[in-house]
Amino acid sequence: MTTVATVAELAGRAQKAARAIAGAGREVRKAAVLAMARGLVDHAEEILSANEEDVAAARGRGVRPELLDRLELSLGRVEEMAEGLRQVAELPDMLGEVIERWRQKDGLWIEKVRVPFGVIGMVYESRPNVTADAAGLVVKAGSAAILRGGSDALGSNRAIVRVLRKSLEAAGLPKDAVILVDSPDRGAVDELLTAKGLVDLVIPRGGAGLIRHVVETATVPVIETGVGNCHLYVDRAADLDVALNLTINAKTQRPGVCNAIETLLVHEAVAGEFLPRAISALRKRGVEIRGCSKTRAVVPDVRAAAEEDWATEYLGLILAVRVVPDLSAAVEHINRYGTRHSESIVTEDPEAAERFLREVDAAAVYHNASTRFTDGFQFGFGAEIGISTQKLHARGPVGLKELTTYKYVVRGSGQVRV
């Protein structure tokens, strides 16, 4: 079991580095992230050549084209990674912020202070850009990152992490603030997930299968991210032009992402007028429709939706459509099948809107707006590491703030408990 020793050893080194990162000044952390950005650009050739080998090998193994697309880097993509790091560097540093402060009757001062997590593990798929994004955010947040990307991208990740570590060292910080789990062995992931006392937090980023595995295996705290079975509900009091616009945007503006909608719910009072328009507009944009029986009564050539369609995150140009008798049925459908990500109502009725916003249980609930806004940049948080669909206690976009925690600092003059 050499890998057991290895992950524990990596984590021990990351812990030490995390203390140095936390203790460094905010200017040092900022300079380090900027140095990481420069490093990527300066060593782009080296990164691209490692990536070419990864892509060729993956293609040889018959990896699907959309996965190859995620794996493949270009000079432009490396520049984007660097630009992402520069933006992270410029975000305000929140460490040391006094969130609350009060004085007890006995003279004790209690402060709730923002502090780093320590060691943050990231488990993700074969998207080398996540390696740079995660490393930058974690270092800026005062922690150390242990990264485990998909094995298809191992060569690319090695090259990127080598550059990032050099840049950290040049900036006067320990290179072990960014560590790659340099093993294609799946056992290494599980060791990371169960490294209690060594790893303070793990964030999985990827498809439903990856996230399920992490949640089921981890004994360290996890921020569950990403699976988005999102809905748009067109109420009886909707402005149907607005509804059409939002439907098209939420489904087609970028169908492969977690905050795109997968099911459209339509109040039966407006289904007859809205559905033919919406379905025709969606089909023109290449969207396949799967509808309930009432949908098919209005637009007969729609394929019948099965029970599993309500629970599916297509991540592509397919949309399930269901006609519901009222707002309650819409809320019930969403709370039953949704993944607590992003949910929207289209209505001109303020009471219906408030009820929906209150009763739907999701990280982000919308009135008359596209679900596509659930995103760190769109919310004004800057870069994010994913969208949390759990509730404890980082919900929605996980940006710099959510990558920190707090501790209580208590200053006394000899107080004892009586």
Using the rule CB under 8 A, is 328 a contact of a second copy? no
Q: Which is nearer to a second copy, 4 or 56 (CB)?
A: 4
**Binder among 131, 156, 347, 370 for a second copy (CB under 8 A):** 370
CB of residue 392 vs a second copy: minimum separation in angstroms? 4
Using the rule CB under 8 A, is 416 a contact of a second copy? yes
Using the rule CB under 8 A, is 308 a contact of a second copy? no
Structure tokens at 246: 């939002």
* Other CB atoms within 10 A of residue 325 CB: 11
Task: Label residue 162 left, alpha or beta by phi (over 0 means left) and psi (-120 to 50 means alpha).
Answer: alpha
**Separation between Cα atoms, residue 301 and residue 303, nearest integer Å:** 6
Using the rule CB under 8 A, is 377 a contact of a second copy? no
| Region of 27-35, 275-283, 312-320, 393-401 interacting with a second copy (CB under 8 A) | 393-401
Residue whose token pair is 């200017």: 27
Which of 152, 156, 180, 167 has its CA nearest to residue 74? 156
Q: Which is nearer to a second copy, 115 or 122 (CB)?
A: 115
Q: Which is nearer to a second copy, 122 or 153 (CB)?
A: 122
Using the rule CB under 8 A, is 196 a contact of a second copy? yes
Using the rule CB under 8 A, is 409 a contact of a second copy? yes
Q: Which is nearer to a second copy, 128 or 396 (CB)?
A: 396
| Region of 56-64, 273-281, 286-294, 389-397 interacting with a second copy (CB under 8 A) | 389-397
What do you get for the CA distance between the two ends of the chain, in Å? 51
Using the rule CB under 8 A, is 118 a contact of a second copy? yes
**Inter-axis angle of helices 75-90 and 44-60, nearest 10:** 120
Q: Which residues contact 161 (CB under 8 A, 6 or more apart)?
A: 131, 135, 147, 178, 179, 180
| Region of 67-75, 274-282, 317-325, 367-375 interacting with a second copy (CB under 8 A) | 367-375
Residue 341 contacts residue 230 (beta carbons within 8 Å): yes
Residue 93 contacts residue 118 (beta carbons within 8 Å): no
**Binder among 49, 74, 104, 280 for a second copy (CB under 8 A):** 104
Q: Which is nearer to a second copy, 47 or 360 (CB)?
A: 360
Using the rule CB under 8 A, is 225 a contact of a second copy? no
User: Which segments of 73-153 does DSSP mark as H helices, in order?
Assistant: 75-90, 128-140
Contacts of range 289-293, beta carbons closer than 8 Å, 24 or more positions apart: 289/318, 289/319, 289/321, 290/318, 290/319, 290/320, 290/321, 291/320, 291/321, 291/322, 292/321, 292/322, 292/323
| Region of 40-48, 53-61, 267-275, 386-394 interacting with a second copy (CB under 8 A) | 386-394
Using the rule CB under 8 A, is 41 a contact of a second copy? no
Residue whose token pair is 């490396």: 78
Total of chain residues touching a second copy, rule CB under 8 A: 69
* Other CB atoms within 10 A of residue 404 CB: 20
Using the rule CB under 8 A, is 407 a contact of a second copy? yes
Q: Which is nearer to a second copy, 132 or 362 (CB)?
A: 362
Using the rule CB under 8 A, is 205 a contact of a second copy? no
| Region of 41-49, 158-166, 229-237, 407-415 interacting with a second copy (CB under 8 A) | 407-415
**Separation between Cα atoms, residue 342 and residue 365, nearest integer Å:** 6
Using the rule CB under 8 A, is 391 a contact of a second copy? yes
Chain positions 246 to 275 lying near a second copy, rule: CB under 8 A, are 246, 248-250, 253
Q: Which residues contact 153 (CB under 8 A, 6 or more apart)?
A: 51, 54, 71, 126, 127, 128, 131
Q: Residue numbers of the site for a second copy (CB under 8 A)?
A: 19, 23, 102, 104, 108, 110, 115, 117-118, 196, 200-201, 215-216, 219, 221-224, 239, 242, 245-246, 248-250, 253, 353, 357-359, 361-370, 372-374, 378-380, 390-396, 402, 405-418
